[in-house]
Amino acid sequence: MFSAIYIESEIRDHPRSRAILKRYRDLPHIECERFGQVFNRKAQNFRMQKQYPALILARKHGRKVLPAPAGYGFEAGQSHYFSHMLNCIYDCRYCFLQGMYRSAHCVLFVNFEDFADSIRQSIAEGGGKQVFYSGYDCDSLALEPVSRFAEFFVPFFAQHPHAVLELRTKSTQISSLLQMAPSPNCIIAMSFTTEAVAKRWEQDVPSIEKRLAALARLQEAGWPVALRFEPLLPDADPNAHEKLFDLAFTRLDPGRLHSVSTGLFRMPTDFFRNTLKLYPDEPLFARETRTENGVVSLDQSDREVWLTELETTLFHHIDPASYYRCAD
């Protein structure tokens, strides 16, 4: 999975670093002062690096909890996000991360306790219900066997029942969750696209069947699970989304889902420009696009009609009250 492990000198002896270095004892261990010496340097090529990414172990300095972008998640109070990782082990062609970073290496911040302090502070200052999204700059669970992220944060959030944690993932790494008592304020939200889109544009991601099986196991164990049909990309098969919905709601109990959402393909203009430079040969980005309020999306003349049709299909399976449309 990784070609090398870079370690910031100051966290070399951190227990989490030591455990990870032990796990990857056969890979080169390369020490650096700050992760920025290796990550996101000028003239790095994300596409090339994605073929042999490294793992960088670092300490997160500065602000650790940030306001979630408007319209990012479900409406349940103040929304925040925090990133214990930068980048993702999967390679989804539509992902904004490839336009955000010049580097495809994964950065794992090992000072979870500092994140927990910041979250505790946000909860105390915010008042009322607050939602914390962990899968904005990474996949929340994909590196769980290495990071033990959920193993640390789920029990932490269990102590703060007025706060909600969303683990956004495409991973089937659910062992650590299944070993814990389900936590009603920790939602495991899994993203899905149609089968053709997944096969074409989601490299290294577990199959739809495997992901649904993992979600079903979590649901059976009592975890709140959620579905994110995102990004919605047009498919050659006009019934592809209907088939995906049928499959998902056959495998899962629709009545016990925390929420279901949809979102179109969209990317901030700068990130899209960078992504287009990286993948000038990618048909997805060669299509007509439109830019509104600094966000690029595919130019679909009947977009609103299409979305409404998809929502109507969805509402055959779920209560509209559990549905939201991610900001477009």
Partner 1 sequence: MIGGVNLAVAHPLEAKALLEWFDLEEIEPGGAFRCYGNSKGIALVISGMGAENSAAGVRFLHERQFPGFRAWLNIGIAGHPHAATGHGFLINRIEHGRSGECHWPPVPGLGLPGCGLITVAEPETAYPKDVAYDMEAAGFYAQAAGLTTTDLVHVFKIVSDNRENPVSKVSPQQVPELFRNQESAIRKLVDHLRERSAAFTNWYEIPAEFEMLLHKYRFSATRKAALAQYCRRYCALGRQSRLNEIAHMRFRDAASLMTTMRMELALPDETGEMSR
- The site for partner 1 (CB under 8 A) is made up of 3-4, 6, 28, 30-32, 37-38, 41, 43-45, 47-49, 52, 54, 233-236, 279-288, 299-300, 302, 306
Residue with tokens 């062609």: 93
Q: 159, exposed or middle or buried, with CB in 10 Å at 0-12, 13-18, 19+? A: exposed
Q: Which helix (H) or strand (E) element contains residue 264? A: strand 259-264
Closest C-alpha among 91, 82, 86 to residue 123: 82
Residue among 42 and 63 whose Cβ is closer to partner 1: 42
Instruction: Give CA–CA dist 205/208, Å, rounded.
Output: 9
Q: Least Å distance between CB 260 and partner 1?
A: 21
Residue among 41 and 210 whose Cβ is closer to partner 1: 41
Q: How many CA atoms lie within 13 A of 240 on its CB side?
A: 18
Q: How many CA atoms lie within 13 A of 325 on its CB side?
A: 13
SS3 204: coil
Residue with tokens 């219900």: 129
Both tokens of 33, joined, read 């002062």
Q: Least Å distance between CB 247 and partner 1?
A: 21
Residue among 75 and 281 whose Cβ is closer to partner 1: 281
Q: Least Å distance between CB 44 and partner 1?
A: 6
Q: Least Å distance between CB 280 and partner 1?
A: 4
Residue with tokens 């669970």: 141
Q: Respond yes or no on whether the N-terminal peptide bond of residue 280 is cis (omega within 30° of 0).
A: no
Both tokens of 205, joined, read 């991601």
Q: Least Å distance between CB 149 and partner 1?
A: 25
Residue among 253 and 304 whose Cβ is closer to partner 1: 304
Residue among 56 and 142 whose Cβ is closer to partner 1: 56
Both tokens of 192, joined, read 């899905």
Q: Least Å distance between CB 49 and partner 1?
A: 6
Both tokens of 30, joined, read 């390369």
Q: Least Å distance between CB 294 and partner 1?
A: 20
Q: At what angle do helices 112-126 and 149-158 cross, to 10 degrees?
A: 30
Residue among 306 and 323 whose Cβ is closer to partner 1: 306
Greatest CA span in the chain, whole angstroms?
56
